[in-house]
Structure 1
Amino acid sequence: MHRNLCTVFAEQADKQPQHIALVRILKGKTVPLTYGEYLRRVIHLSAGLQATGVSFGDRVLLLSENRPEWAIADYALLSLGAIVVPVYPSLPANQIEYLARDSGARVILVSDEKQYRKAIEVSKAVPQLETIVVMDPPAQLASNAVSFADIEQRGADVPDAERRFRERITQIPPDHIATFIYTSGTTGEPKGAMLTHHNLLSNVDASLQIIDAGPGDVFLSFLPLSHVFERMGGHFTAVACGATVYYCETLFTIARDMQIARPTVMLAVPRLFESIRDRIMESVTKQPSLRRRIFHWAFRNASKAAQAVRGERRWTPWLRLKHRLADRLVLHKVRELTGGRLRFFVSGGAALGKHNAEFFHAFGILILEGYGLTETSPVVAVNRPNDYRFGTVGKPIPGVEVRIAEDGEVLVRGPNVMLGYYNKPAETAEAIDPDGWFHTGDLGLLDADGFLRITGRKKDIIVLANGKNVAPVPIEEQLKTSPYISEAVLFGDEQDVITALIVPNFERTREWAKMQGLMVQSDSELVALPEVKQLIKREIDRLTPHLAEFEKVRRFTLLDHPFSIETGELTPTLKVRRHFIKQRYAKELEAMRR
């Protein structure tokens, strides 16, 4: 018998069939699904998809928001030996068409009418895409479309479906490809990373060795399951330890849904923490003077107590007393925003920033920052609940080797490293050397205690006209700690000085302008104000006094609109597409060179 993602799932479902596995939050109400029901639906969908023609090795696109049917479809397809190609629901039809063509997909599963319309458009352009399966179908379906419920019912009618399912999953070898996960394409067209059952399971097993989780835990899932971080951590790992997963209703209901689910573990990206921090500080500014003073007193003493917890200063009886009082007055209220029983967040996808980790730690909220890539299934390193160091991404996980090349690049070797990029042998050879080391493209340092710190992206290094090298990411992250700066992207190749495109925090900046008696009708008028430009200049100077003179931002342009996925500046994982921005704002950048 082979051990793979499906056998781990079936084993857990058999162990605790009555335990709640999945909970969908719908219109503020909860719709639970037990592990036993979860397995039954996977068996039926698997049999129905097989009857529809899905077979071993077929590529199938999965285009849906987070919901129980996503998870059911994933395991059903994997149980057939199919290769699942998850697709971000935010992608437009033309980008989905590229994934369909490149992967050679024959079938696509979609969530609702909006995604169905995209699938119809793609199927017209890609003849090999034969079948569309719709979870929430419209009244009328095209001839090549069928409802998810009909496929399930078809499977339920298959004689001996459960026995066939159980026999079939034991025959899937660990080195069989489970999924193509397409990289987000920050520097070029997406590439399909081929990850096996063993790749992903090695990451699940290593994660559970260092982060204690079990049936008593509740995960709240809001990051897209099409992202390898959420899929491995909030899907495969949650199942492997027998936990319960709640699915957020939308990205706009996270605050409410934390109160409903009361999670103990949650995977997130830095933007969530930045948003929560901004809301907390904005709320404080609107409080009466006495309450503001109480908050700041509590936060100062909580920060000192958190330093003592981290071993950075000594506990004293007086500090303990002040911390207890601060907790009673302020700190517990902030923890209640997460539901009140959160053990820790795990942060990935982008740099968290030491300041963010320290801010939340002061309130008793631990954020464990990690590091990984699509190509490494994804986790390479992560801080542990009892072994963490803010400002780093933790130590490598068990079984994974990390070393730093002579040029500072982070190299990774282990069972989590992908087979390669689908149909791209040259790119695969460039990424994985003959000794099995994956070249991440990231720059980093390993300290004496084995903690990894990511310092930048190799391709993003700016080389000034005088030959000086500047790593933009740490500077950008520092600038974004300003309450008035949402995004900052640095440039300077072959220039005399560093320049930046800056997206203000429009809400906070408008409030500041109003307090100064400056009235504007639009964001365009706001960024044109000389006073606002001076505000941002003061913030840049305040936040970067420690930089070398050649690293400092000397010229900047304020943009009058936020970056977005739809306009192309951000990837579906909300990373800045630096090269696209360079092209789109070429006129503004050229003006700053003069």
Structure 2
Amino acid sequence: MQQIEHIKKQIQPDYLATIIYTSGTTGNPKGVMLSHKNIVSNVLSSIECFDFCDSNECSLSFLPLNHVFERTIMYIYLHKGIEVYFAEGMETIAQNLKEVKPVVFTTVPRLLEKVYEKIDAKGSELSGFKRKMFNWAVNLGLQYDVDPQNRSFLYNVQLKIADAFIYKKWREAIGGKIKAIITGSAACQVKLLKLFTAANIIVMEGYGLTETSPVVSVNRYQSSGRKFGTIGKVVKDVEVKIADDGEIICRGPNIMMGYYKHTELTNEVVKDGWFYTGDIGTFIDNTFLKITDRKKEIFKISGGKYIAPLPIENKMKESPYIEQIMVVGQNEKFVGALIVPSVDKIKEYFAKVGIQFDNEFDLSTNKDILKLVRTELNQFNQLFSAHEQVKKISISPN
């Protein structure tokens, strides 16, 4: 113990604690140098967001610990004395949730989508009155407003009925004791946020980067601290402002020491203590931070109009038949999209309308699939300006 105390005294807050490499989604991976001060300050800034769970409760962890998101969350769990169970593997998460019965776990939006897809698949197997109840509960959830003042007495009564017959089973499927799910790394569909919240499964969507240790903002557990479609309130000790070109910039004790052996890259993103995130955003009600796009992903079509792909992609992904989508069109006459279809959902649809689905289909050329996807896109296109509408699509062949 004396030796440990001696070593601890030698370590200063500004010393390097870890190097975590970025995912490289917008370039080559970079080694982000984080100090002890960076990490500890972010843990202390974020811990107030976890006031809903106590030291006698537990969590389930399955995201990689070599990413700063799960690493910092782990430190928060340790600080609060929350028990941590690790999933045996990605394929056993559903089983492990039932075994562990956590009150909280972290995830990414795609895994959350898969959770709902399983719930929806179970609902599709129902028939008669039970199927009608399931569909009614889903439609009720889609009308959910996080502000209790905007929910009528009748709506709240309906929520209780839906909870007794439908939503309770959703919670049981993920252990039965869940209070909140923390999600980040990408935008979560508002549709899912409404449905899970209506089922009393609070989804706390947040925002951060490896370079910010990572937490910048979080939607809180309390309803007054949440707003659908945003990434929540900025955590304490972190400053955020919107630059003249719309870029989100932030500063605080959580900002990285720099990129490992890349001083020139560090100087490009850290200026006068402010870290330039590369994300375009705004504040809603002067309180809730909202990302509108990635600065590097905005492009211009040949007519001179700028296109922000993110809101278009997020809206299109609300279709059950579209699993992934990438909006393109740099210097082209109009916007196009590369689409990965949801094969399972398309199979279900074809079965209902009497179209035979052949597993040997080339998805990119099948006329029925193209017609279905195009119909979905046309519905969503109406929500966008003429120059933002997806005019041409290409579907992944498998």
Given the alignment, which residue of 222, 229, 236 partners 2:62? 222
TM-score (norm 2): 0.95
In the alignment, which residue of structure 2 is the partner of 1:288? 127
TM-score (norm 1): 0.65
| CA pair 303-509 structure 1, distance change in 2 beyond 3 A | closer
Given the alignment, which residue of 76, 80, 85 partners 1:241? 80
The code of the aligned residue for 1:413 comes to: R
In the alignment, which residue of structure 2 is the partner of 1:550? 387
| CA pair 273-312 structure 1, distance change in 2 beyond 3 A | farther
Could you tell me how far apart the structure 2 residues matched to 1:232 and 1:179 are? Answer: 12
Q: Secondary structure at the match of 2:88?
A: coil
Q: Determine what percentage of the aligned residue pairs are the same residue.
A: 38
Could you tell me how far apart the structure 2 residues matched to 1:504 and 1:319 are? Answer: 35
In the alignment, which residue of structure 2 is the partner of 1:444? 281
Could you tell me how far apart the structure 1 residues matched to 2:396 and 2:196 are? Answer: 30
The code of the aligned residue for 1:290 comes to: F
In the alignment, which residue of structure 2 is the partner of 1:328? 164
Given the alignment, which residue of 300, 310, 323 partners 1:473? 310
After superposition, the C-alpha distances for 1:316-369 in whole angstroms (9 at most, x for unaligned) are: 2x4343332221111111111121111111110101122221121121111011
Given the alignment, which residue of 170, 173, 177 partners 2:16? 177
| C-alpha contact 1:402 1:411 (8 A) present in aligned 2 | yes
Given the alignment, which residue of 353, 362, 370 partners 1:525? 362
In the alignment, which residue of structure 1 is the partner of 2:96? 257
- How far residue 520 of structure 1 moved from its aligned partner, in angstroms, is 4.7
In the alignment, which residue of structure 1 is the partner of 2:40? 201
In the alignment, which residue of structure 1 is the partner of 2:322? 485
Alignment pair present for 1:391 and 2:232:
no
| CA pair 490-278 structure 1, distance change in 2 beyond 3 A | same
- How far residue 252 of structure 1 moved from its aligned partner, in angstroms, is 0.9
Q: Secondary structure at the match of 1:230?
A: helix
| C-alpha contact 2:159 2:198 (8 A) present in aligned 1 | no
- How far residue 470 of structure 1 moved from its aligned partner, in angstroms, is 0.8
| C-alpha contact 1:513 1:532 (8 A) present in aligned 2 | no
Alignment of structure 1 residues 79-90 onto 2, 5 Å: none
After superposition, the C-alpha distances for 1:120-152 in whole angstroms (9 at most, x for unaligned) are: xxxxxxxxxxxxxxxxxxxxxxxxxxxxxxxxx
| C-alpha contact 1:464 1:493 (8 A) present in aligned 2 | yes
- How far residue 302 of structure 1 moved from its aligned partner, in angstroms, is 4.7
The code of the aligned residue for 1:486 comes to: E
In the alignment, which residue of structure 2 is the partner of 1:346? 182
What are structure 1's unaligned runs of at least 5 residues?
A: 1-161, 562-594
The code of the aligned residue for 1:216 comes to: N
Alignment of structure 1 residues 153-164 onto 2, 5 Å: 162-164=1-3
In the alignment, which residue of structure 1 is the partner of 2:72? 232
Given the alignment, which residue of 155, 165, 187 partners 1:319? 155
The code of the aligned residue for 2:251 comes to: R
Alignment pair present for 1:369 and 2:205:
yes
| C-alpha contact 2:37 2:253 (8 A) present in aligned 1 | yes
| CA pair 455-380 structure 1, distance change in 2 beyond 3 A | same
- How far residue 281 of structure 1 moved from its aligned partner, in angstroms, is 1.5
Alignment pair present for 1:457 and 2:294:
yes
Could you tell me how far apart the structure 2 residues matched to 1:244 and 1:472 are? Answer: 40
Q: Secondary structure at the match of 2:120?
A: helix
After superposition, the C-alpha distances for 1:64-112 in whole angstroms (9 at most, x for unaligned) are: xxxxxxxxxxxxxxxxxxxxxxxxxxxxxxxxxxxxxxxxxxxxxxxxx
After superposition, the C-alpha distances for 1:166-216 in whole angstroms (9 at most, x for unaligned) are: 321232111111111111111221110100011011110011123214412
| C-alpha contact 2:49 2:218 (8 A) present in aligned 1 | no
Alignment pair present for 1:410 and 2:263:
no
After superposition, the C-alpha distances for 1:205-230 in whole angstroms (9 at most, x for unaligned) are: 01112321441231110111111100
Could you tell me how far apart the structure 1 residues matched to 2:149 and 2:136 are? Answer: 20
Could you tell me how far apart the structure 1 residues matched to 2:35 and 2:393 are? Answer: 45
In the alignment, which residue of structure 2 is the partner of 1:432? 270
Could you tell me how far apart the structure 1 residues matched to 2:69 and 2:210 are? Answer: 8
- How far residue 531 of structure 1 moved from its aligned partner, in angstroms, is 1.2
- How far residue 523 of structure 1 moved from its aligned partner, in angstroms, is 5.3
Q: Secondary structure at the match of 1:556?
A: strand
Larger Rg: 1 or 2?
1
In the alignment, which residue of structure 2 is the partner of 1:381? 217
- How far residue 267 of structure 1 moved from its aligned partner, in angstroms, is 0.9
What are structure 2's unaligned runs of at least 5 residues?
A: none
Q: Secondary structure at the match of 2:393?
A: strand
- How far residue 413 of structure 1 moved from its aligned partner, in angstroms, is 0.4
Could you tell me how far apart the structure 2 residues matched to 1:358 and 1:175 are? Answer: 42
Q: Secondary structure at the match of 1:188?
A: coil
Q: Secondary structure at the match of 1:528?
A: coil
- How far residue 165 of structure 1 moved from its aligned partner, in angstroms, is 2.0
Alignment pair present for 1:537 and 2:377:
no
Q: Secondary structure at the match of 1:297?
A: helix
Q: Which has the higher contact order (CA 8 A, sep 6+)?
A: 2
| C-alpha contact 1:506 1:523 (8 A) present in aligned 2 | no
Could you tell me how far apart the structure 2 residues matched to 1:550 and 1:184 are? Answer: 32
Could you tell me how far apart the structure 2 residues matched to 1:499 and 1:214 are? Answer: 49
- How far residue 477 of structure 1 moved from its aligned partner, in angstroms, is 1.3
